[in-house]
Structure 1
Amino acid sequence: MNRVAKPTSRHNKKSGSVRIISGQWRGRRLPVLDAEGLRPSTDRTRETLFNWLMAHVQGSRVLDVFAGSGVLGLEALSRYARETVFIEKHAPTAKQLKANLNTLQAGAEVHCNDAMAVLPTLSAPFDIIFVDPPFGHDLVNPCLAALYKHQLLAENALIYVEQEINGPALALPPGCEVIKQKQTGQLAYCLLEYTNATV
């Protein structure tokens, strides 16, 4: 379900769902809000992403920066990530994410604030990071810079980036390189690896 949100009645906010595609919660459907700019990654995109990540998720520490529905971080938890931290600015969406985590009896941190304000407050580095911001806000490169500046990239960290196909060219932090990339329709996505080679 990849959608661009449209104006809706205030009385009809729970209008969609996402499906966990693999792992301990395989097949579970969870409600998502019809919030402006919210466009959960499609099953096909997630299948590609988690094929890329297959050997790395279990036991990893995961950060879902612009979480939205949280489906990427939830998919990681379903596949036995050790820990996942979610950041979601929109309060009702963050509340729904917390409710879904409770439904799954999954412990995870959810920060309801602007991602660029939360990143400097995080401490330990992450093994896998999802960077999938709302389209049209040019948030990818500032986020990548903040992840590097605040030392949130573990050695050999993997960073998934999803953005509009005509989005700004990636400004890779030192030690990062693109190892996988793909385009579908109006969507471009890639996987970066941080090798810390310059340190």
Structure 2
Amino acid sequence: MRIIGGTSRGLHLAPVGAGDVAAHLRPTSDRVREAIFNLLINGGYGNPVAGARVLDLFAGTGALGLEALSRGAAHATFLETGIPALALIKRNIALMRAEGRTTVLKRDATSPGPGTPHGLVFLDPPYGKSLGHSALIAVAANGWLAPDALIVWEEGVPPAVPQGFDELDHRKYGDTVVTILKVASQKAAS
């Protein structure tokens, strides 16, 4: 697993093998990560990564948030509860020398408590557990989402989009479905 693009392109992250089932680690493959960032940057969204405050939910290894930092995001916040995953995130942040641009929080994404707004959110819950929907509703209710936030949601199947969000795109990459959402505008919600 490595950083695909940007200033840290080619940096190898801490190895996790095929993942740690007991710790629910299922790293996003390099191919899917590259597709996600190509879609974000070249998909008609402007460049939502440059200068963004990024929120990485169910962060796992932190690869998505770190990829965003490499591509110009200003700051990344990682929410994770697993002890092995938290250790990997911290190790990967150190490998990238990104300590000053990151925050690692041991918090459950489905009940994160109050937060500050982020413009780009990566949501990669364990597949098949219906945690993505709960997490998205929770971070929205607790102030973690900027009014124009883009959400990149990875699941094994296309997710049911919660009220208050608009689906902009979805793509299938092997056993991963990537769905791009945007916080619904207040005018559209009225």
Over aligned residue pairs, what C-alpha RMSD do you find? 1.7
- Tell me the TM-score normalized by structure 2: 0.86
Does the CA contact (< 8 Å) of 2:77 and 2:104 recur in 1?
yes
Which residue of structure 1 aligns with residue 105 of structure 2?
111
Give ranges in structure 2 of 5+ residues lacking alignment: 42-46
CA distance in 1 between partners of 2:83 and 2:107 (Å): 8
Does the CA contact (< 8 Å) of 1:64 and 1:130 recur in 2?
yes
Which residue of structure 2 aligns with residue 185 of structure 1?
174
CA distance in 1 between partners of 2:107 and 2:138 (Å): 15
Which residue of structure 1 aligns with residue 113 of structure 2?
120
Asked if residue 80 in structure 1 is aligned to residue 72 in structure 2, the reply is: yes
Which one is further off, 19-28 or 177-186?
A: 177-186
Which residue of structure 2 aligns with residue 41 of structure 1?
28
For residue 171 of structure 1, report the CA deviation from its aligned partner. 3.4
Q: How big is each residue's C-alpha offset from its partner over 1:143-165, in whole Å with a ceiling of 9 and x where there is no partner?
A: 11112212322122100011112
Q: Which structure is larger by alpha-carbon Rg, 1 or 2?
A: 1
For residue 35 of structure 1, report the CA deviation from its aligned partner. 1.8
AA in 2 matched with 1:134 = P
Which one is further off, 124-133 or 176-185?
A: 176-185
Does the CA contact (< 8 Å) of 1:64 and 1:129 recur in 2?
yes
Does the CA contact (< 8 Å) of 2:25 and 2:85 recur in 1?
no
Secondary structure in 1 matching 2:125 = coil
What fraction of aligned residue pairs are identical, expressed as a percent?
Answer: 35
Does the CA contact (< 8 Å) of 2:114 and 2:144 recur in 1?
no
163, 166, 170: which one aligns with 2:160: 170
Does the CA contact (< 8 Å) of 1:157 and 1:195 recur in 2?
no
Which residue of structure 2 aligns with residue 129 of structure 1?
121
Larger helix share, 1 or 2: 2
Q: How big is each residue's C-alpha offset from its partner over 1:123-147, in whole Å with a ceiling of 9 and x where there is no partner?
A: x211000110111221011011112
180, 183, 188: which one aligns with 1:194: 183
CA distance in 1 between partners of 2:33 and 2:55 (Å): 16
Secondary structure in 2 matching 1:29 = coil
132, 141, 151: which one aligns with 2:133: 141
AA in 2 matched with 1:53 = L
AA in 2 matched with 1:193 = K
Q: How big is each residue's C-alpha offset from its partner over 1:82-127, in whole Å with a ceiling of 9 and x where there is no partner?
A: 110001111122112112211221021111232223x2232x2110
Q: Which aligned segments of 4 or more residues in structure 1 are displaced greater than 4 angstroms? A: none
Aligned length: 177
AA in 2 matched with 1:172 = P
Does the CA contact (< 8 Å) of 2:153 and 2:178 recur in 1?
yes
CA distance in 2 between partners of 1:42 and 1:73 (Å): 14
